[in-house]
Chains A and B, each alone.
Chain A
Amino acid sequence: GQQVQQSPSSLVLQEGENAELQCNFSSTATQLQWFYQSPGGSLVSLLSNPSGTKHTGRLTSTTVTKERRSSLHISSSQTTDSGTYLCAISTNAYKVIFGKGTHLHVLP
């Protein structure tokens, strides 16, 4: 089955609203990363957060390792935040497993 599940699959917000993205995973993760993929396809690393809470700018990620879940909170969303947010975990030394992503669309 799907090792990394993200929800919701898509989300539409008005500019200024907050977004809460979820990631659940079925295996023990040694590392967890959140990525942003632009509509053009390029990949940007947002946060690396295998456990606990991390902040950067308007982003906050909380990972509860024992419960195998992580969240990404985007505060005061902007139209430029539109794109796909990917959650990815490492379960061993050699690869990262990606979720299918949450497609975020922020309306002006």
Chain B
Amino acid sequence: EDKVVQSPLSLVVHEGDTVTLNCSYEVTNFRSLLWYKQEKKAPTFLFMLTSSGIEKKSGRLSSILDKKELFSILNITATQTGDSAIYLCAVAGPRNKLVFGAGTILRVKS
């Protein structure tokens, strides 16, 4: 059975801290790995990773994939209170079917 595991389940940091969120997976016929940010209800797309070792960056957020070790990390530098959210990792298999992890709850304190 396909599985995506995220860690930690939750963490609390102070503004300005750097955080690293982890995602490991066991999925047959891997196509891509995606990161989403979920505030309130709708997950919003952050990154899609398909190749190992190539960092994707958007502002203070970056992510990288290791297809040999089957994991990805999401880094957030200089955290702000607006970064408080649930961060979801999902892996896409054939036909773009996504399998999600349970998410990491991030709380940034001012």
A, B from the same assembly: no
